[in-house]
A = this chain, B = another copy of it.
Amino acid sequence: MNPIQVGCRLRYEIASPATLLLNLSVALNAHQTTTDESLEIQPFQKAEECAVGPLGNRLLRLSVDPGQLSIDYRATVELYADEVDSTDIPEAVYEDLPADVLSYLNPSRYCESDKLFRFASEEFGQLAAGYSRVTAICNWTYEHLTYTPGSTGPTTTACDVLLQRTGVCRDYAHVAISLARAMGIPARYVSGYAVNLQPPDFHGFFEAYLHDRWFLFDATRLAPVGGFVRIGTGRDAADIAFATIRGEATGTSVEVWANEQKGDHPILDSDNVRTAVSSA
Contacts and interface: CB of A to CB of B under 8 A. Distances in A.
Interface of A: 19, 21, 50-53, 59, 61, 63, 94-95, 99-100, 102-103, 106-109, 112, 114-116, 118-119, 122, 144, 146, 154-155, 159, 162-166, 184, 234-235, 238-239, 246
A59 B105 CA distance: 14
Contacts of A159: 163
A64 to B, nearest CB: 11
Majority secondary structure, A binding face = mixed
A165 B119 contact: yes
24 contacts: A50-B102, A52-B102, A59-B102, A103-B234, A106-B109, A107-B109, A108-B108, A108-B235, A108-B238, A109-B109, A109-B114, A112-B155, A114-B155, A115-B155, A116-B164, A118-B146, A118-B166, A119-B163, A119-B165, A122-B144, A122-B165, A162-B162, A163-B163, A184-B246
Nearest to A238: B106
Contacts of A108: 108-109, 235, 238
Contacts of A246: 94, 184
A59 B100 CA distance: 11
A94 B48 CA distance: 13
Given A52-B100, A115-B155, A155-B114, A239 B165 contact: no
A221 B163 CA distance: 25
Contacts of A163: 115-116, 119, 159, 162-163
A205 to B, nearest CB: 19
Contacts of A118: 146, 164-166
A272 B184 CA distance: 41
Nearest to A50: B99
